């Protein structure tokens, strides 16, 4: 593409960028007069060196400013989807989702490897060769391309293989005309005999390459940069070619027949095998979903025989599938919704798929006739598709009996369409209908915070209403400003909330990932980050819609807001990065101030939710899965940490004890449930640091003592009294927490005591604090149960004060794993 000078007033721009590796690639294109082609206006490639999240938005702003492209002149955002560095890909995609959402523009994804190939083509390179991108673990993403005068043509699908294997494959095909990609920086010696290396400055995606790639896809009818409905930002996902480490390890374990699905459960007194624990739980209809394990191969074969007739697979065929890296199998079990899944839970459904050349071919879907009409087949297919997507699949295909109208209707509802027919495909001679389409999606579950906010009385649109249904600017609305949207993504909840200038939360939406992490017994950071990317657009859209309803206006757009806020620290960096990158993109796209919030401060502010008269000074017990501390609040923004845990957090201890007992994840609620039925004095567990003379905490020793007790009882052959263990453990935790809180209140003389964090919802702890405060004559303030866990409402509360103080942050701000509550930011 040839760079041109632009001087016309009416312009339609295409903004493109990629951060899949150590280079930030930027491109700005201009739609031609008939809006059928894109011409390069500007492009740049900048060495990022693991600083993409600090440089990307400022670089975008600079590129647009230098080219004279205003934000509202951007018709389409193009982003590199990978494959590449997982963090780098998510930074680009989250930023792109934020920008496109705020602008109401189309978001089109292109392969980062295609962008490299088109960059090579743009530089005049021709022939057949390969792009080899670094995939870590001594692996690469190798894709073959043919570069002709007509363009770059992809010859193979995305995949990940060992670098040595990729080099051997490439060399075996005869000398290539070129080899490129950042994988050569690490593995150049392996690929030395595969063909001549392209110039090193063309090994990464380029701005021109991104724009060329989207133009080629446009001309092929694969995308339309002008169709924002077709290219909804919420629909675009990164290109992955493998599962997370936790999922890969799980699949290897479940493929072995000696691994059990879950421990066995009696009634009140329980004996469990701690090596055979599953954390899956049933949904409200009594169905639990889990990757299929080899121990249930016979159950699948039996159900196959019942529903598939002569086309049924044997147990050996089913079990042989489970160890294959390109196969995905899921199963559904009938279970008690209130209890973890047990080894004897009956199998009621299964589904499997084979990922090949970017498509997942559905091999089997079977549901027990007695359990049909519960959405089991749909849920199983969505889970198979979710894993297949992470293995590089982009489409779905299957065969279904021509006479099975019900199944065809289900697949049609999932977006699959008839593509052909296979005559006499089945053993009895019946034809098969071939159906193909997009991958079914699996949504995150909504938490109680996600209930719609109570709407304000509806009002007729005023003269100032925007054509799209924006806020009518009158005295009433002016009094409600500022309107701030806040985002929270520090762990495994994706949340968004809108607050107005009176401090009223107009919406507070939370989507939880707990089902995705439960089977691992805790939060898997890689999975958390992936799920945030999937959920963040939908959660923010829902927050805006509910806020509009509450405000009594037809719609609320990003540009109707006064600021965008986000949690930037502390938390899981990979999870925080998604929220921060999205929020910065949205703030830039809507031209709004950007506000960052310390997650811990959010938990302090959660006490304001539903209780606007709460104010410091106060002592706060902040107890969650990652934190246990006592904080003195001298004023808003003025905090002193009186004492913190020296090892485990309270929530972490609850999770580990629950895991040891086979009670599933998260541990807090289920341990509390059993504790309510037990004797807190039954077992004398240690009260660590109860008499330490300071306000520090230690939970590691208590956790170890409980696990040791459980193991000793099992070794002795005695049944476990789970309620007594839970009650005694909880009592040991509460005794220390209350004793330290008493000391803190007496030392500071604070008139108020309040709570924060997920463990603040524990009923035993709340009751103990009620007794303590009544005894000391101190006011007790506790956040609503729905506001104890991670939520965006508390982030919005902090953001409102920071907005009033003018505490805005630059768009170069990054996420941070740690954040000192005592230090201003």
* Cis check: omega of the bond before 736, within 30 degrees of 0: no
Residue 170 marked as a ligand binder: no
Q: 625 a known binding residue?
A: yes
Rounded CA gap, 515 and 518, in Å?
5
**Is 818 labeled as ligand-binding?**
no
Q: Is the peptide bond before 570 cis (omega within 30 degrees of 0)?
A: yes
Distance CA 613, CA 603 (A): 17
From the list 288, 290, 299, 295, the residue with the least C-alpha distance to 255 is: 295
Query: What is the DSSP-derived secondary structure letter of residue 126?
Result: -
CB atoms within 10 A of CB 175: 12
603 is in an annotated binding site: yes
Return d(Cα 583, Cα 98) in angstroms, integer: 6
The contacts of residue 57 (CB under 8 Å, 6+ apart) are: 95, 584, 585, 588, 811, 812
Picking from 14, 390, 399, the residue whose alpha carbon sits closest to that of residue 207 is 14
Q: Are 772 and 558 in contact (CB under 8 A)?
A: no
Pairing of strands 74-80, 13-18: parallel
Ligand-binding annotation for 599, yes or no, is: yes
- Round to whole Å and give the CA distance between 244 and 247: 5
Residue 4 is encoded by which pair of tokens? 């041109």
Taking each helix axis as running N to C, give the angle between helix 376-390 and helix 405-413, from 0 to 180 degrees, rounded to the nearest 10: 50
Q: Residue 239 to residues 93, 100, 242, 816: CA-CA distances in angstroms?
A: 10, 19, 10, 25
Q: How far, in Å, CA of 375 to CA of 77, rounded?
A: 36
670-674 long-range Cβ contacts below 8 angstroms, 24+ apart: 670/340, 671/726, 671/729, 671/730, 672/726, 672/730, 672/762, 672/763, 672/764, 673/338, 674/722, 674/723, 674/725, 674/726, 674/727
Do the annotations mark residue 623 as ligand-binding?
yes
DSSP 8-state code for residue 522 = S
Q: Is 269 assigned to a binding site?
A: no
Burial tier of 654 (Cβ tally within 10 Å: 0-12, 13-18, 19+): buried
Q: What residue ranges in 742-783 does DSSP mark as E strands? A: 752-756, 779-781
How far is it, in rounded angstroms, from Cα 548 to Cα 543?
A: 9
Angle at 735 between CA 729 and CA 737, to 5 degrees: 105
Token pair belonging to 652: 């972490």
CB-based contact 440:396 (threshold 8 Å): yes
Question: Which residues face 432 on adjacent strands?
Answer: 401, 422
Q: Are the C-beta atoms of residues 132 and 142 closer than 8 Å to each other? A: yes
Closest alpha carbon to 74 in 105, 98, 39: 105
Angle, helices 86-103/525-551, rounded to nearest 10 degrees:
10
Question: Token pair for residue 477?
Answer: 């609305």
Is the four-CA dihedral 175, 181, 183, 184 of positive or negative sign?
A: positive
Q: What is the 3-state secondary structure (H, E, C) of 296-357?
A: HHHHHHHHHHHHHHHHCCCHHHHHHHHCCCCEEEEEEEECCCCCECCCCCCEEEEEEEEEEC
The two counts, helices (H) then strands (E), for the chain are 22, 30
Residue 260: count of CB within 10 angstroms of its CB: 16
Enclosing H/E stretch for 360: strand 359-367
- For the record, the structure tokens of 7 come out as 């001087």
Q: Indicate the annotated binding residues.
A: 599, 603, 622-626, 655, 668, 762, 790
Q: Indicate the annotated binding residues for substrate.
A: 622-626, 655, 668, 762
Q: Indicate the annotated binding residues for Fe cation.
A: 599, 603, 790
């Amino acid at each position: 593409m040839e760079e041109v000078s632009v001087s016309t007033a009416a312009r339609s721009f295409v903004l493109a960028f990629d951060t899949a590796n150590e280079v930030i690639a930027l491109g700005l294109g201009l739609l031609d007069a008939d809006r059928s082609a894109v011409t390069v206006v500007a492009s740049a490639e900048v060495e990022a060196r693991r600083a993409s999240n600090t440089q990307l938005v400022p670089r975008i702003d600079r590129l647009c400013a230098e080219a004279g492209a205003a934000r509202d002149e951007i018709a389409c955002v193009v982003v590199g989807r990978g494959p590449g560095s997982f963090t780098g890909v998510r930074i680009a995609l989250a930023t792109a989702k934020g920008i496109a959402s705020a602008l109401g523009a189309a978001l089109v994804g292109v392969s980062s490897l295609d962008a490299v190939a088109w960059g090579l083509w743009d530089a005049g390179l021709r022939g057949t060769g390969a792009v080899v991108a670094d995939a870590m673990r001594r692996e690469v993403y190798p894709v073959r391309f043919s570069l002709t005068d007509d363009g770059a043509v992809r010859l193979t699908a995305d995949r990940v293989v060992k670098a040595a294997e990729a080099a051997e494959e490439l060399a075996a095909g005869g000398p290539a005309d070129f080899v490129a990609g950042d994988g050569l920086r690490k593995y150049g010696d392996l690929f030395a005999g595969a063909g001549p290396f392209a110039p090193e400055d063309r090994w990464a995606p380029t701005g021109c390459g991104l724009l060329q790639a989207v133009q080629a896809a446009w001309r092929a009818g694969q995308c339309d940069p002008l169709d924002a409905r077709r290219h909804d930002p919420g629909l675009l996902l990164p290109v992955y070619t493998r599962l997370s480490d936790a999922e890969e390890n799980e699949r290897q374990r479940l493929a072995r027949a000696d691994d059990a699905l879950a421990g066995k459960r009696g009634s009140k007194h329980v004996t469990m095998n701690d090596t055979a624990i599953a954390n899956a739980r049933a949904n409200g209809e009594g169905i639990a979903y889990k990757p299929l394990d080899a121990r249930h191969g016979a159950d699948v074969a039996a159900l196959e025989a019942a529903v598939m007739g002569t086309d049924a697979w044997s147990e050996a065929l089913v079990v042989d599938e489970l160890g294959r890296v390109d196969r995905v199998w899921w199963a559904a079990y009938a279970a008690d919704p209130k209890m973890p899944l047990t080894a004897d839970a009956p199998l009621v459904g299964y589904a499997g798929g084979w990922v090949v050349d970017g498509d997942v071919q559905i091999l089997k879907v079977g549901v027990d006739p007695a359990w049909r009409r519960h959405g089991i087949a749909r849920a199983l297919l969505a889970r198979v598709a979710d894993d297949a997507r992470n293995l590089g699949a982009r489409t779905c295909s299957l065969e279904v009996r021509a006479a099975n109208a019900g199944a065809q209707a289900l697949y049609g509802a999932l977006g699959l369409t008839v593509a052909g027919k296979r005559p006499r495909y089945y053993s009895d001679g019946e034809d098969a209908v071939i159906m193909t389409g997009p991958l079914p999606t699996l949504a995150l579950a909504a938490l109680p915070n996600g209930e719609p906010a109570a709407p304000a009385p509806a009002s007729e649109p005023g003269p100032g209403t925007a054509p799209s249904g924006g806020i009518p600017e009158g005295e009433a609305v002016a009094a409600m400003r500022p309107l701030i949207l806040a985002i929270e993504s520090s762990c495994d909840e994706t949340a968004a909330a809108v607050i107005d200038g009176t401090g009223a939360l107009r919406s507070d939406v939370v989507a939880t990932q707990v089902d995705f992490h439960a089977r691992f017994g805790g939060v898997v950071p890689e999975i958390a980050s992936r799920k945030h990317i999937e959920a963040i657009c939908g959660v923010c859209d829902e927050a805006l819609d509910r806020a509009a309803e509450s405000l009594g206006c037809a719609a609320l757009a990003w540009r109707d807001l006064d600021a965008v806020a986000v949690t930037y620290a502390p938390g899981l960096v990979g999870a925080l990065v998604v929220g921060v990158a999205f929020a910065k993109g949205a703030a830039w796209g809507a031209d709004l101030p950007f506000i960052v919030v310390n997650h811990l401060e959010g938990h302090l502010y959660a006490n304001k939710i539903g209780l606007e008269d709460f104010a410091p000074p106060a002592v706060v017990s902040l107890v969650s899965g990652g934190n246990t501390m006592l904080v003195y609040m001298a004023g808003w923004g003025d905090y002193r940490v009186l004492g913190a845990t020296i090892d485990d957090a309270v929530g972490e201890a609850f999770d580990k004890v629950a895991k040891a007992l086979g009670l599933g994840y998260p541990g807090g609620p289920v341990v509390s449930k059993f504790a309510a039925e037990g004797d807190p004095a039954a077992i004398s567990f240690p009260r660590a640091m109860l008499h330490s003379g300071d306000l520090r905490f230690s939970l590691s020793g208590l956790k170890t003592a409980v696990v040791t007790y459980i193991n000793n009882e099992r070794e002795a052959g005695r049944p476990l009294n789970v309620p007594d263990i839970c009650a005694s453990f909880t009592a040991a935790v509460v005794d220390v927490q209350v004793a330290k809180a008493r000391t803190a209140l007496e030392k500071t003389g604070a008139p108020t005591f309040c709570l924060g964090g997920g463990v603040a919802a524990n009923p035993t702890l709340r009751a103990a604090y009620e007794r303590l405060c009544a005894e000391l004559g101190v006011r007790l303030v506790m956040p609503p149960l729905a506001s104890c866990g991670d939520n965006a409402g508390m982030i919005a509360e902090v953001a409102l004060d920071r907005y009033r103080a003018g505490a805005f942050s630059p768009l170069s701000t990054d996420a941070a794993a740690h954040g000192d509550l005592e230090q201003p930011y």
